[in-house]
Structure 1
């Protein structure tokens, strides 16, 4: 993560294509009577996520190039189906006359949102003669209000330290509503120590960590990047601290950061907020040696533990090369004797455009494919065999993992992204290997349709929701802390798993993108069928074998107990 335009993944099997759908499409149209009219949804960023259904006031900014007369705006509200596709016809349409105007004007239109879920908004400006003058498309969602954070293994990447997202006061409440209990972000050395020996912390750093503490969200903070500005002679060829002097300066930065944000004795709003630290993001071992990285890890581990002995120090930062499960980073560190200088290690197992169940084939790796059902058990056995001096095995953290929306790859649309997100967290929970898995990332990093790095988010760049945002929120609320219990159906293209025993939740989905019928054995009684949007349908099961139609986005079957 921390540099948006530099991403290397030890698990990527190929170069991705280009990505995504924009949240706000400003499409201009010409007619014989008028030049183009710009139409833009002007509601505040983040306000398109609602916590209750009902009336929603949409504000549109209309900007004609000249004098506009007798036009009207029409807004259609479209629902989404169980497979994440928008309906072909609107639930309802709303019209409002604009009248004569020069220059820009704000137009309010009240619409009715009937239930939980995701909705597409199509707005059109037409002349009195029915000519289309301008269009725009957006989305809004209704999700269940959350008072508590989500499950302890659900995390998501943010970019507060890079100043490319809205302020924490806008974004972190949405993180909580999406059902995540963790964020992964940065505290850059160069931003904190601009003058040698003087540590000044940006207000934005204080703000996002203070709000994390207030909301109960746990931050995993990446410590890293060089500091050529303050120490130009220490970084002649690389931003990585390669010399003993550079590592000592880096340790001073770590001490300052952990003392401010990780010390329980600090009384400021952000004191004692950060308990988990990751050393560097995706170090390039084609340019640095494992010995050099281990030297930095050793310095960092000591600096962190001196301030907070209970803190976690995560190695590797997802770095490494090759296609093997776990890459070569942790193996290289263990060969150098680094077992006890870390709490655990991190990996970045990107698999796009492949599914999390099947992944991609490898060559020369301990296992023949990289997927959740192959990598997670392998890493579980790997860590169980490597116990530290304190008697604890190494923890496994997945600190980046995700699928972009990519119309140039078949099937890589917004619905597929939502399906892959939910299935990844369900599969990860099944194998019980990973401490936390962080989806990369929460918000699209830009609006360039041809830049894949802009299009991994669960929210569009303007913070309007994608299906994945809604699906994540429903998954978190429905699954909760339930552990995987058993497989009811475990076929190549069809899955039905039970999570929890005393208060079970059954989750079903298909792997091949089609709808299929799962025959599941369940006690007769009353149940609730819940789709990815949180729409509930009561059902009574009278026979032990229930014929359940499921699709690529997982659906839930929950006992309806009084």
Structure 2
């Protein structure tokens, strides 16, 4: 009302004088604060993940305050438990005085991370009167230091071609977690925007070059159509090339890509999730044959992956491979890929199929089935077509589907363990590495191991612990292989025993292991000594896998 009265003065100079007088009057009066604000965390992206315990500096940006005076920045370090649940009590607290300013201020807090694991940092800005004026919760992590090479059979999906993330920031986090592969794209309509004129975005060069710099192998998807430049050839589903002319232009795009990146990229996947119900297998096979020959002409050592993950939505994923064999394209592929998503079902049991080649889509059923299928259809000279799982993942949201951060982490670790258990897969790629968005009600935004701001989720910490603990050990034996409990041994001379429950509740399980001294390690790397005096060890297990290592192995 007062400002409305002032605005009635037609003279700008008079309004200015009156506003100055009002400011002088109100400067000495308490001003009510609005709704609680959010503290900013100004750390460089990726710096909230440490390689092992130690000190971490967190830089907070406090919001502008209308009142002069002082307050207190209170920061609590809260751990997660063995079940991936955030505990209620902090293990450390920090208090620092801060001056309120109209511009806001930056305040750094040195936090000591006492051990490996995932932690929440709860920060509150408290005014002198005791009210909380701003707050923030963010995850930080100290991952188990790894002294083994990255997993040669495990990868993650990135979205650098979509402009999501800096390769120089993201790829070190990929490597630190123990992954040796990424899967990304080179989009046709981005590099040929005028007929016959090819120009590669600098972002494509950057991410391909960065994979070499960090020692990570890229698998690149070649897709999709180019309807904007060639509308006469791309009118069908997915803008898929369904004419000889369209295929010819797609092959020219492939040739330009392989000529530019073939020295650094050896693995090429043809299309992503083709809609076979719309385009038909014959058209895909025609494209596969043309593309295969062109890639091999440029780089005979390249690996060409067929099917693009298609054919797995309602079954085990062998339909595309069988169709390519029927249409004479067995010799035009070095590998085949599937995307056997199972969410929200668990990887051990998946979901039932109706009239399919297997009774359910799960890792214990699909992996052996596809392995056998490829064995039964060798290429010339007895060469076996490789099997690649180029997408598999579970989101951490929405809660309405029974999904959360802990269940995502459990499904991730168990999927990699089961994949190595059932074998036959050259590499499996988790979809995806970083959340695509921040909407917790949107499942597509929440498939990442890291949040959109690159802060860690339990899945990232669990993956890093898995890689540091399991290393290159292959599956050795099943100590317990019941429907609701899995205890497997990986490796023989330096074994690692891994156990979990397939149900959402924990239980105590008796397992036969040699007597001796062991180290128990949970999903986040927290360790405790265990002495097995008798041959039966009573092991408390839950959905998140735990590890039992002979003391000599754990050193």
TM-score of the pair, normalised by structure 1: 0.90
Partner of 2:183: 184
Partner of 1:168: 167
Partner of 1:85: 85
Partner of 2:11: none
Partner of 2:141: 141
Structure 1 CA distance, aligned partners of 2:412 and 2:481?
A: 19
Structure 1 CA distance, aligned partners of 2:487 and 2:401?
A: 26
Structure 2 CA distance, aligned partners of 1:96 and 1:344?
A: 58
Partner of 1:220: 219
Alignment of 1:202-217 (within 5 A): 202-217=201-216
Partner of 2:284: 293
CA contact (8 A) 2:310 2:317 kept: no
Shift of 1:410: 5.3
Partner of 2:126: 126
Shift of 1:368: 1.3
- C-alpha RMSD of matched pairs (Å): 1.7
The question of 1:347 aligning with 2:338 is answered yes
Instruction: Please give the secondary structure, in 1, of the residue aligned with 2:278.
Output: coil
Deviations 1:470-522 (A, max 9, x none): 00011011111111110001111111100011111100101002212222222
Of 413, 416, 423, 1:425 maps to 416
Partner of 2:45: 45
Structure 2 CA distance, aligned partners of 1:520 and 1:361?
A: 30
Structure 2 CA distance, aligned partners of 1:273 and 1:229?
A: 29
Shift of 1:243: 1.2
Instruction: Please give the secondary structure, in 2, of the residue aligned with 1:71.
Output: strand
Structure 2 CA distance, aligned partners of 1:387 and 1:497?
A: 31
The question of 1:108 aligning with 2:99 is answered no
The question of 1:304 aligning with 2:292 is answered no
Partner of 1:415: 406
Structure 2 CA distance, aligned partners of 1:499 and 1:41?
A: 41
CA contact (8 A) 1:35 1:65 kept: no
CA contact (8 A) 1:507 1:556 kept: yes
Deviations 1:297-326 (A, max 9, x none): 111111111111121111111112652211
Alignment of 1:79-478 (within 5 A): 79-146=79-146, 149-163=149-163, 165-238=164-237, 239-262=239-262, 272-320=263-311, 323-326=314-317, 328-409=319-400, 411-478=402-469
Q: Which has the higher helix share?
A: 2
Structure 2, unmatched stretches of 5+, are 1-29
CA contact (8 A) 1:527 1:539 kept: yes
Shift of 1:65: 5.3
Instruction: Please give the secondary structure, in 1, of the residue aligned with 2:276.
Output: coil
Structure 1 CA distance, aligned partners of 2:454 and 2:379?
A: 43
- Misfit runs of 4+, over 4 Å: 145-149
Deviations 1:508-558 (A, max 9, x none): 101002212222222222211111111222222221111111111101111
Paired residues, number:
522
Of 96-105 and 349-358, the range deviating more from structure 2 = 96-105
Partner of 1:22: none
Structure 2 CA distance, aligned partners of 1:444 and 1:514?
A: 27
CA contact (8 A) 2:148 2:468 kept: no
Instruction: Please give the secondary structure, in 2, of the residue aligned with 1:340.
Output: helix
Partner of 1:542: 533
Partner of 1:72: 72
Structure 2 CA distance, aligned partners of 1:125 and 1:371?
A: 48
Structure 1 CA distance, aligned partners of 2:73 and 2:410?
A: 34
Structure 1 CA distance, aligned partners of 2:236 and 2:315?
A: 29
TM-score of the pair, normalised by structure 2: 0.91
Structure 1 CA distance, aligned partners of 2:104 and 2:93?
A: 24
Structure 2 CA distance, aligned partners of 1:41 and 1:441?
A: 24
